[in-house]
């Protein structure tokens, strides 16, 4: 089978499309024929080995796992002898290690059946970005119906899920994005949209119960002025490029600051969750959430896909397909 492998940290040039042996599922695993995967910022951080603190987990000098990719959607090809939840032929989506390949082994704990009204490419767009949005809004943000929520970076992979999930939970949502994304952010449910190229959202006189920040382009002091006295800011992303902590520096500063103020400043490191996969299945099946997809790339074009993702201007998600024919729309 074909898979994207890398033997050292570096630029997208380290990624190679190679023939490798098809994996065999263990007694508690399933073998998934991959139809689609999606690229996340997590992937290029793994590729580059930055921030360096990540290497404690991924390998100090070279990657421990040489196939990247986490989000996956496909059809189950085979099941281990102890697997009861699925059978060959089931269409599933979820998370695993090594999704940028034609076949991958995965734990049934982190897969759910794909809704029939959702394409493989749409399902592959969901897991990591949706986990981040769901856990940030609910677990850290403690979102409640009727609250005023500001989502900074509303047009990105995480942001587009955050807008829709917040609306499904009854919040009044304000999205921040660039001019080209205003119509899209409004179309997925935002009540108000701020075009940051025309208006500095930090000068907005409104105050919010919850700020969900995927960008990190304003200081925490500025963000606090936009929060209600007992409001919450959830820090998901940052523009910091430091080699050692990178985007983690801002959340750590927020944790220290939160000890001295009435407002809650929370950082988020999303975790894999079967419960959240089930929730997303329900939201997808009901039509309350529809993944926003920017571009499709074939597995052989992963280098170009990662380069595009690193530019930071993707509208929604970037999808990697193993199918010969790349879908449109």
Residue with the bigger pLDDT between 277 and 217: it is: 277
Residue with the bigger pLDDT between 56 and 74: it is: 74
Show the CA angle centred on residue 114, arms to residues 111 and 115, nearest 5°. Answer: 140
Tell me what pLDDT residue 237 has: 64
Structural domains for the chain: 2-126+291-321 (3.90.180.10), 128-267 (3.40.50.720)
Which residues lie across from 287 on neighbouring strands? none
Tell me what pLDDT residue 259 has: 55
Question: What's the average model confidence in pLDDT over 251-278?
Answer: 74
pLDDT averaged over every residue in the chain: 89
Q: Where are the alpha helices (DSSP H) in 9-79?
A: 41-48, 55-58
Q: How many CA atoms lie within 13 A of 148 on its CB side?
A: 11
3-state secondary structure of 329: coil
Tell me what pLDDT residue 7 has: 87
Tell me what pLDDT residue 203 has: 80
Beta carbons of 258 and 266 less than 8 angstroms apart? yes
Strand 208-213 relative to strand 227-235, pairing: parallel
Tell me what pLDDT residue 1 has: 94
Question: Confidence class of residue 167 from pLDDT cuts 50, 70 and 90?
Answer: very high
Q: Which residue has the tokens 């263990």?
A: 26
Each residue's pLDDT tens digit, 67-90: 899 999 999 999 999 999 999 999
Residue with the bigger pLDDT between 15 and 252: it is: 15
Which residues, in sequence order, are CB contacts of 197 under 8 Å at separation 6+?
178, 179
pTM across the whole model = 0.90
Taking the C-alpha atoms of residue 44 and residue 212, their distance in angstroms, rounded to an integer, is 23
Taking the C-alpha atoms of residue 118 and residue 127, their distance in angstroms, rounded to an integer, is 14
Question: What's the average model confidence in pLDDT over 24-48?
Answer: 92
Q: Which residue has the tokens 């996956």?
A: 72
CA distances from 323 to 27, 35, 89, 238, 259 (A): 28, 6, 17, 34, 51
* pLDDT reading at 58 higher than 70: no
Among the listed ranges 107-111, 190-194, 211-215, which one has the minimum average pLDDT value? 211-215
Question: What's the average model confidence in pLDDT over 262-266?
Answer: 77
H or E element in which residue 39 lies? strand 30-39
Percent of the chain with pLDDT over 70: 87
């Amino acid at each position: 089978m074909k898979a994207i492998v890398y033997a050292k940290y570096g630029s997208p040039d380290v990624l190679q499309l190679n023939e490798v042996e098809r994996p065999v599922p263990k007694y508690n695993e399933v073998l998934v024929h991959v139809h689609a995967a999606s690229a996340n910022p997590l992937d290029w951080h793994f590729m580059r080995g930055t921030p360096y603190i990540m290497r404690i987990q991924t390998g100090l000098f070279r990657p421990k796992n040489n196939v990247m990719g986490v989000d996956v959607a496909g059809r189950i090809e085979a099941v281990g002898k102890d697997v009861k939840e699925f059978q060959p032929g089931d269409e599933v989506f979820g998370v695993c290690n090594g999704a940028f390949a034609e076949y991958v082994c995965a734990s049934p704990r982190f897969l759910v059946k794909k809704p029939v009204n959702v394409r493989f490419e749409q399902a592959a767009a969901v897991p990591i970005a949706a986990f981040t949005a769901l856990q940030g809004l609910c677990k850290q943000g403690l979102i409640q119906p009727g609250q005023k929520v500001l989502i900074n970076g509303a047009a990105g992979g995480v942001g587009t899920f955050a807008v829709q999930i917040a609306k499904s939970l009854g919040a009044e949502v304000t999205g921040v994005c660039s001019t080209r994304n205003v119509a899209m952010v409004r179309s997925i449910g935002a009540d108000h949209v701020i075009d940051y190229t025309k208006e500095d959202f930090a000068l907005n006189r409104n105050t919010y119960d919850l700020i969900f920040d995927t960008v990190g382009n304003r200081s925490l002091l500025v963000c606090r002025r936009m929060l209600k006295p007992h409001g919450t800011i959830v820090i998901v992303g940052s523009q910091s490029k430091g080699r050692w902590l990178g985007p983690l520096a801002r959340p750590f500063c927020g944790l220290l600051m939160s000890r001295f103020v009435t407002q809650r400043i929370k950082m988020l490191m999303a975790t894999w969750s079967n419960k959240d996969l089930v929730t997303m299945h329900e939201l997808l099946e009901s039509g309350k959430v529809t993944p926003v997809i920017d571009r499709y790339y074939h597995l052989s074009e992963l280098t170009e896909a990662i380069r595009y993702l690193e530019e930071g201007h993707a509208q929604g998600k970037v999808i990697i397909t193993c199918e010969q024919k790349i879908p449109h729309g």
